[in-house]
Chains A and B, each alone.
Chain A
C-alpha cells in the first residue's frame, strides 16, 4: 500500500474506534487518534507480522506500552486480519468480552498484556536482548505516551537498552503534549526529551507522528543505526483527525462523544479523507 492509501486507512480505522467507544460507552479516544498513523505505518508498512507468521521466531514484535490506546490497537489488528472487526465493535468492553479495555495476550496478535504504564519499554528490552543473544532478525517496537514518561521504570528501560546497545529496538513516544490533567509541560515537563533520551545512549529521531510518510522515513532511518536503540519522538496532535471538536483537548483523553459530537467527528474524518484523495 502506498502512503496515500495508508493515510486513508488510518482515517477509516478512526471510525472503527469511534464506533467501539460509542457502543461500549468508554474509551481513551484522544490518544487513539494521535497514535493511529504510528500503528498503521508499523503494521502495514514496516513490521514483519501477520496472522500467518504470528508464531514465527523471527517475526517482529510490538508492545503497546500506552495500553489505554487499546481501541486503535484492536482496530488495526482486526484490519490486519487477526480477528473480526464486527465482533470487536460489538463486544469491546462488554460483559465477559475478551476485548478488555487494555491489551490482553489471550487475543491473537497481542504479545504481552499492558495497562499499567511504564512496563512496555522494559519488557521490549527483554525481548530485544533475547533476540540479539539468539541472532534473530526480529525488530522490536513499542509505543509509549508522553505522559507515561513520568514513570521511573521507563528510564530504567532507556538506561538498559542503551547499555546493551539494542539496535533491534525502536521505541516511539506519542508526543501529543496532553495527558488527563492538562499539558505534559504543566504536569511533568519533558521539554528536553530529545537530549534526555540521547544521553541514555539512544539514537533519537523527531518526526510528524500524524504523517504516514514521515513515520515511514523515521522507521527506515532507525533501521540504519544498528549499534544503539532508536527513539522516535512522534510529534502528534491529540485527537488528530477528529476535527476541532476534539483535537488538542485534554478533556478528550477519555471521552464518549454524544450524537452531535459523533456527527462532527465523522464529518471531519470524511473531509480529511476527501482532501487526501484529491491531493
Chain B
C-alpha cells in the first residue's frame, strides 16, 4: 500500500524545480505541516512565505507576488481556501489573471471526523463557476506530480484539490499516461453486450477502477474516465466514451450540485442522451467518521458503484 499522499508529491515536484527556478514561491496559512510543505520551507526559506491563519491574505499576497513575476503556490485546507478566500480567488486571481496556483489540501471529507466546517464538498462547484479559474482533482501521486509539472509550465490561475490520506497507486513512475486537460481512459472489455461508463475524479478513481474489474467479471464492458480535469472539462473525451454506452455513472467526493455529476449529466444530455446516475455525498451533514468509513456509508466505493450499475435495468 502506498504511503505517500498526493500533497507530498506536490512538495517533491516543487522542490525538484525550485532551485533552478527561484520565482517559485510556496505560501502557507499556518498549514505547512498539513500541506507536507515543511521540507520545502526548510530548504527554500527565501521562496517560502508564511502568512499565519489568514486565508484571504494568503491568496491576495500570492496574487500580488504573481503580478510582479513570481510563481506562487498557495497551500491551505480546501475547506477554507475555497470559501473563506473565495472572493480573493475570484477577483485577485481569476479576474486580475494572476499566475496563482491554489492548492486545496485535505479536500473533500479528508477531515471526516471534524465536521462540516472542515469539509470541502462544494469546492468544485464554487471554483468552476469563476471565469478564468481551472479546477483539477488528481487521482494518485503520480498523476499529481504530472499535473504540477504541467501547471509549472503555464501562467494561468488554477485550483487543485488533493486529499489528506495516501491513496492506492493507480499509475506508476514509468507508466503515467497524462495529457493536460484530457481525461485518462481505462478500458475493461468484456464479452457481454452491456457497456457502462464510469466517470470519476480525485480519490473516487480508485474505487471506480476496482468496480470496473468487478463489473467486467459480470461480463459488463466498462470504460473508466479519470476526469482529473474538471475545468476545462474534457467534453470530447466523455462524448467519445459514451458512444454506444447503456449507462453512465459519475462518482465524486462532492455535494450533488455543481460538481462532476452535474457536468457529466449536462454534456451527456446535450450530446449523447444516455441514462446518468450520480454518486456523490448527500446534500446534508455528512456522517462523522474516517473518510474511508464515510465513503463506505454512502456507497462511494467499488461495491456501491457495482450496485448502482446492476440495480438499473
Residues of A within 8 A of B (CB): 57, 61, 105, 111-116, 118-119, 122-131, 133-134, 136, 138, 152-153, 156-157, 159-160, 163
Contact = CB atoms under 8 A, between A and B. Distances in A.
Interface of B: 25, 46, 49, 51-52, 54, 56-57, 60-70, 87-88, 91-92, 95-98
B64 A127 contact: yes
Given A123-B63, A123-B92, A128-B64, 16 more contacts: A57-B69, A112-B98, A113-B95, A118-B56, A119-B60, A119-B91, A119-B92, A126-B63, A126-B66, A127-B67, A152-B56, A153-B57, A157-B57, A159-B57, A160-B57, A160-B61
The 5 closest A-B CB pairs, nearest first, are A126-B64, A122-B60, A156-B57, A126-B61, A127-B64
Contacts of B64: 112, 122-130
A126 B65 contact: yes
Nearest to B66: A126
A111 B92 CA distance: 11
Nearest to B70: A130
Contacts of A124: 64
By DSSP majority rule, is chain A's interface helix, strand, loop, or mixed? helix
Contacts of A114: 91
Contacts of B46: 133
Contact of B60 (A133, A138, A153): A153
A112 B95 CA distance: 9
Nearest to B61: A126
Nearest to A123: B64
A124 B88 CA distance: 13
Contact of A157 (B60, B63, B70, B98): B60
A116 B90 CA distance: 10
A131 B61 CA distance: 12
8 contacts: A112-B63, A112-B92, A112-B98, A119-B60, A119-B92, A127-B65, A153-B60, A160-B57
Contact of A125 (B57, B66, B87): B57
A247 B181 CA distance: 55
Contact of A112 (B49, B51, B67): B67
Contact of A123 (B51, B67, B70, B87): B67
A138 B63 CA distance: 17
Contacts of B88: 119, 122, 153
Contacts of B25: 130
B203 to A, nearest CB: 32
Contacts of B91: 113-116, 119
A123 B72 CA distance: 13
A45 to B, nearest CB: 23
Contact of A113 (B62, B69, B96): B96
A264 B92 CA distance: 39
Nearest to B85: A153
Nearest to B55: A156
Which among A115, A129, A163 has the greatest number of chain B C-beta atoms within 10 A? A129
